[in-house]
Copies of this chain bind each other. A is one copy, B any other.
């Protein structure tokens, strides 16, 4: 399922190929986020054209809307959304804790009220696996308990122990219904901002023997040094040759740091969200398209970019579209920011292969 094709001698960074039922992914890879079954503001053909290899969607959101009945009848999410490549789904653990109301956590699972209509729901580890099987995810994530940052150690331990039990039940559920689709379930490492708990979680989850691992609960507001410390402990306590996903990260600069610890997969809403709010990414950082200095700037968003937006339109035009509240502004900015992420990853893969990371 995962083959490492190049290793850096200067760090744990590696390039690889991840095989999924819907094709292969060259890693390290950035996954555009399509929470509700669409990467916001772009078509699947635009996504493919800009070089996206795999998209991330969310079991929590899709379960609530359009609902499993629709997804099942469509023949799965790939067919529903017209995306033929791999799909990784988050379990929705994080969303239950950040979006939903009135939640009650017990060993059985988590009870919450939908953020859409307030309707009550119970998600158990088993149900979350079933949801992702119905979705047809190439990579599934188990239900986990996410703690807020900062949290005291006792609270983190409770969540960690529950996350472990849920991971085991999720794995058992996958084995029970193995025939139904061929997606793989990753394990998730938690442990808050405590090195010993990160180590414990990685070892315990690792012992359950998943084909890949997510590192959860990072980049939630902690200082970057702490994040990197936690990342180091989490990854070094996991089997080296399994694919690893740093969940919810991130910024190009964070990605380049994280690959040094052997991270292979990234996802983050930031590039697409920034785009819709009028910020575009270049090597110089982010720029605000509404800025008056772009009024008569007829350069592309990024002179070094080969995306559809940069090949055909100027900053002046996209600024005009933004100020005039035209939808096309969001589409063009999204295409550019995602292409920028894709090229960042291409560049990182090249550097790893050349031993420069």
Contacts and interface: CB of A to CB of B under 8 A. Distances in A.
Interface of A: 36-38, 40-45, 65-66, 69-70, 73-74, 80-82, 295-296, 298, 308, 312-314, 316-317, 319-321, 323-324, 326-328, 330-332
A47 to B, nearest CB: 11
A70 B318 CA distance: 12
Contact of A74 (B38, B43, B298): B298
Nearest to A46: B43
Contact of A330 (B73, B316, B327): B327
B70 A316 contact: yes
A81 to B, nearest CB: 6
A283 to B, nearest CB: 24
B317 A80 contact: yes
Given A65-B323, A73-B316, A74-B316, 17 more contacts: A36-B321, A36-B324, A43-B331, A43-B332, A44-B312, A65-B320, A66-B316, A66-B319, A66-B320, A66-B324, A70-B316, A74-B298, A74-B314, A80-B317, A81-B317, A82-B312, A82-B313
B80 A308 contact: no
Given A80-B317, A314-B80, A317-B74, A69 B327 contact: no
A43 B327 CA distance: 10
A308 B45 contact: yes
Nearest to A81: B317
Contacts of A332: 43
Contact of A65 (B44, B70, B324): B324
